[in-house]
């Protein structure tokens, strides 16, 4: 088992499980991780001159990442997407940990979830899907 990190109760991991002498991988990892940060600035207009800038302080960081779910990787995509949607709808602040280290100053909230249902079988079962999450830093 290899745990890459977690977002609250969502654990990013790769696991090999054995059932009846057949090894089945279980993979829940992320791709396209992107983090951005910016400062907060005020702008004051000055008559006959260029505006003056004033540093207010740091802004909140944001992160975007994609998680792929596939039955071929031991996941139930529909169940995983429902779990992520529930987390987003509760508005709960979550710790984000990658490689054993916390990211940012503490907690993160899910501000947006975009689902892409990529493959569905002839019985309507979701086989492959991707969830793209937008996170924003949460400061108490």
Domain spans in the chain, listed from the N-terminal domain onward:
2-17+30-36+61-138
pLDDT digit string, tens, across residues 8-67: 989 898 876 655 555 566 788 889 999 999 999 999 999 999 999 999 999 999 999 999
- What is the C-alpha to C-alpha distance for residues 135 and 140, in angstroms, rounded to an integer? 16
> pTM of this prediction?
0.82
Q: Count CB-CB contacts under 10 A for residue 89.
A: 10
pLDDT digit string, tens, across residues 31-48: 999 999 999 999 999 999
């Amino acid at each position: 088992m290899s745990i890459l990190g977690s977002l609250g109760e969502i654990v990013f991991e790769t696991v090999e499980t054995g059932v009846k002498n057949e090894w089945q991988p279980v993979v829940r990892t992320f791709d396209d991780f992107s983090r951005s940060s910016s400062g907060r600035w005020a702008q004051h207009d000055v008559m006959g001159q260029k505006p003056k800038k004033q540093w207010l302080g740091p802004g909140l960081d944001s992160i975007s990442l994609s998680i792929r779910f596939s039955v071929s990787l031991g996941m139930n995509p529909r169940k995983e997407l429902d779990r992520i949607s529930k987390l987003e709808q509760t508005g709960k602040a979550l710790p984000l940990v990658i490689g054993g280290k916390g990211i940012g100053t503490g907690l993160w909230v899910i501000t947006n979830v975009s689902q892409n249902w990529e493959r569905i079988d002839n019985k309507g079962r979701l086989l492959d899907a991707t969830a793209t999450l937008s996170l924003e830093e949460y400061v108490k």
